[in-house]
């Protein structure tokens, strides 16, 4: 199958909507990352999504709606908290877990009685969902476990020939995935930090439980965290070492390890904020800048593209520094830790690994 690259004209959107309604798969831009869309109420289309991605059937998909008023079509009931959050944050980068409506196939939810739903804000996603007139199941449009796509080229690099079409709407404006909040528990549970920060959500609805696997405070991860402890995901093909701790200290350790790798004849890659790179200009390395640390939105926008670009230059080892655990930093930290082959946490001045 040849994957068509579509533009964002009304005719192209209409074609993409027809393909979706027919059970074909179409990748499309959202404000977070590109999604791999299929008819959410068509079990075969849903199966095809899992096949195209190489995704294990146990990992459930997010259902995308054009409008929050469509929520009753996919939710059996709407917890008051979910209604409040939908009214505040939709359209936008927040995914809510609610009880599954019986017409949503269990294939979408991987057998769960809950379903993940969001209304994306991107104009192209909006146009496609409105034209399709059906709920669209869409995971990120990458091969399973690989780095999420923020451009149509990233989608094609992973899925060319495996899906009917991709709508090229340019780079995605947020660059990391939506926040996932389970509204069926009391208090609600943060399952994935993302585009809407935990602080913003807490300010509106009060206490939120943070799922164990997403706690990224240094207290919980003292010492060397073995790669197996944090599920590897969003992963590049080459080694990635992540240095966590106070910026000056983490930077110094990162530099020492980078010098040692160079001395051993390795080709190295640096995935770092502008300030860090300014201090490492003398190192012969492949570099990708995330921009200034003062601009976390820009760092989020660049993260996946920079990771892919560095990875493509096939360094023997890549080096990155951890983010702060506040605001968007929590989501950035989560993604980098899942991409890393090794996390080195430095406690104060002491090097613990």
Work out which of 38, 79, 92, 139 binds ligand TXA, going by CB under 6 A.
139
Work out which of 38, 60, 149, 296 binds ligand TXA, going by CB under 6 A.
60
State in angstroms the smallest separation of the CB of 353 from Mg ion: 29
The DSSP code sequence of 17-52 is: HHHHHTT--EEEE-SSSEEEEEETT-HHHHHHHHHH
Radius of gyration for the alpha carbons in the chain, expressed in angstroms and rounded: 20
What are the phi and psi torsion angles at 239 (to 5°)? -60, 140
Residue 70 DSSP label = G
End-to-end C-alpha distance for the chain, whole angstroms: 48
Q: Does 116 bind ligand TXA (CB under 6 A)?
A: yes
Residue in this structure with the two tokens 């996932």, named with its chain if needed: 180
Q: Does 3 bind ligand TXA (CB under 6 A)?
A: no
Cα–Cα distances (Å) from 75 to 98, 100, 104, 130, 152, in that order, read 6, 5, 9, 19, 31
Q: Does 339 bind ligand TXA (CB under 6 A)?
A: no
Size of the site for ligand TXA (CB under 6 A): 24
State in angstroms the smallest separation of the CB of 26 from ligand TXA: 12
Beta strands 26-29 and 34-39 are antiparallel
- Stretches 56-64, 84-92, 161-169, 263-271: which one binds ligand TXA (CB under 6 A)? 56-64
Instruction: Return the structure tokens found at 312.
Output: 């493509």
Q: Does 114 bind ligand TXA (CB under 6 A)?
A: yes
Work out which of 35, 92, 169, 236 binds ligand TXA, going by CB under 6 A.
35
Nearer to ligand TXA, 195 or 269 (CB): 195
Instruction: Give exposure, 148-164, as e/b (b: 16+ Cβ within 10 Å).
Output: bbbbbebbbbbbeebbb
Nearer to ligand TXA, 107 or 250 (CB): 107
Q: Does 143 bind ligand TXA (CB under 6 A)?
A: no
- Stretches 18-26, 32-40, 41-49, 216-224: which one binds ligand TXA (CB under 6 A)? 32-40
Q: Does 59 bind ligand TXA (CB under 6 A)?
A: yes
Nearer to Mg ion, 99 or 171 (CB): 171
The contact set with ligand TXA (CB under 6 A) reads 30, 32-33, 35, 59-62, 95, 97, 109, 112, 114-116, 120, 138-140, 177-178, 180, 191-192
């Amino acid at each position: 199958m040849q994957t068509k690259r579509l533009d964002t004209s009304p005719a192209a959107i209409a074609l993409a909507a027809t393909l979706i309604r027919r059970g074909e798969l179409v990748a499309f831009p959202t404000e977070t990352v590109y999604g791999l869309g299929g008819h959410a109420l068509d079990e075969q289309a849903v199966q095809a999504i899992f096949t195209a991605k190489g995704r294990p059937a146990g990992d459930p998909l997010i259902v995308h709606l054009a409008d929050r008023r469509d929520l009753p079509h996919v939710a059996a009931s709407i917890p008051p908290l979910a209604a409040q959050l939908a009214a505040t944050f939709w359209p936008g980068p927040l995914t809510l877990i609610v009880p599954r409506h019986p017409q949503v196939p269990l294939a979408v939810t991987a057998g769960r009685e809950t379903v993940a739903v969001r209304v994306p804000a991107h104009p192209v996603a909006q146009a496609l969902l409105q034209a399709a007139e059906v709920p669209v199941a869409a995971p990120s449009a990458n091969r399973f476990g690989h780095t999420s796509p923020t451009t149509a080229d990233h989608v094609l690099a992973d899925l060319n020939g495996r899906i009917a079409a991709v709508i090229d709407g340019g780079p995605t404006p947020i660059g990391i995935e939506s926040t996932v909040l389970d509204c069926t528990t009391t208090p609600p549970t943060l399952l994935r930090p993302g585009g809407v920060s935990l602080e913003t959500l807490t300010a509106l609805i009060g206490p939120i439980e943070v799922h164990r696997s997403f706690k990224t405070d240094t207290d919980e991860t003292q010492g060397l965290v073995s790669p197996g402890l944090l599920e590897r995901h969003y992963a590049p093909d080459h080694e990635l070492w992540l240095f966590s701790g106070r910026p000056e200290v983490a930077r110094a350790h990162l530099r020492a390890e980078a010098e040692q790798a160079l001395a051993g004849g390795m080709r190295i890659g640096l995935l770092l904020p502008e300030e860090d790179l300014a201090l490492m200009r003398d190192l012969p390395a492949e570099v990708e800048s995330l921009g200034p640390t003062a601009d976390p939105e820009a760092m989020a926008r660049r993260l996946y593209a920079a990771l892919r670009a560095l990875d493509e230059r096939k360094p023997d080892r890549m080096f990155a520094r951890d983010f702060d655990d506040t605001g968007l930093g929590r989501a950035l930290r989560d993604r980098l830790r899942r991409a890393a082959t090794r996390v080195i946490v430095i406690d104060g001045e002491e090097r613990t690994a």
